Amino acid sequence: MTDILILTGAGVSAESGLGTFRDEDGLWTQYDLNDVCTPEGFARNPELVHDFYNARRDNCLNSAPNAAHEALGRLQRDSRHKITIVTQNVDDLHERGGAAEVLHMHGALSGALCHSCGARWPAPPVMDPLAPCPECRLPETRPDIVWFGEMPHYMDEIHRALGQASLFVAIGTSGNVYPAAGFVSEARAAGARTLELNLEPSSVAGQFDAARLGPATRTVPAWVDEVLAAE
Ligand code: APR
């Protein structure tokens, strides 16, 4: 049983039509992340934050998983390997591509959270900043997304998996945001081999044993087919 930890970023969903953040036409060229991806931005203008995530939720609902998501779903169903998928993405394309138990360390568009009482519930397609929390009734609802300055989810589980992985693969992430950008060095320190599948070298490319550059819909199925063909 080979333990493989896979970390994905926005690049794995790019060919499904969902925007990345730091490419030349990325979301952070259209919005100031301080306005839509921080608790301070939400306190200043909750309506702008809801508009931002309602647009991304609509984009996600009208998109489809691509060959990279489907290949990772195929890999995870192969019983010879223990595949842990950790994603920085908040879309559900891994799940719709056949993956299960995906660790969404930055939260998910499908979730809603009360900023006041901490209640969680399934997000409606369009969230209304004036809608009351179903628990405390205060109009403090927000998308269940981890913003800058907030603690990502599943960190204990992720550190455990990084300590056990024999292979760490990063797919479609620029390696600019911690703690995810630090996972490769943690995996290496625990003895894992490391592979980067990306359109271009990430900011932490130098820490990988190997890299394959190209679109995820080409590099990921090719890599998965190799893993599944090996004894
Ligand atoms: N195939 C493979 N890789 C791609 C593709 C593609 N078709 N298109 C873009 N990429 C690569 C880019 O080269 C880049 O390295 O995906 C990466 C996207 O990087 P970012 O836009 O920085 O996205 P990501 O790394 O996921 O950002 C991490 O930052 O803003 C926060 O919370 C947000 O989760 C996000 C985190």
Name, in order, each residue with C-beta under 8 angstroms of 49's C-beta and a sequence gap of 6 or more: 35, 36, 41, 42, 129, 142, 143
Question: Coil, helix or strand for 34?
Answer: helix
Determine if the pTM surpasses 0.95.
yes
DSSP letter at 32? Answer: -
Please state, in angstroms and rounded to a whole number, the distance separating the CA atoms of residues 169 and 20.
19
Output the CATH code of domain 19-62+109-145: 3.30.1600.10
Contacts of residues 76-83 at CB distance under 8 Å and 24 or more positions apart, as own/partner, are 76/100, 78/228, 80/1, 80/2, 81/1, 81/2, 81/3, 81/4, 81/227, 82/1, 82/2, 82/3, 82/4, 83/4, 83/6
CATH architecture, domain defined by 1-16+65-106+153-231: 3-Layer(aba) Sandwich (3.40)
Does 9 contact ligand 1 (Cβ within 6 A)?
A: yes
Q: What is the pLDDT of residues 55-94, one digit of tens each?
A: 999 999 999 999 999 999 999 999 899 999 999 999 999 9
- Told to judge if 106 belongs to the known catalytic residues of this protein, a careful annotator would answer yes
| Ligand 1 atom nearest residue 15's Cα | 7
- What are the structural domain ranges in the chain? 1-16+65-106+153-231, 19-62+109-145
Q: Catalytic residue, from 106, 115, 153, 159: name it.
A: 106
% residues pLDDT > 70 (the chain): 100
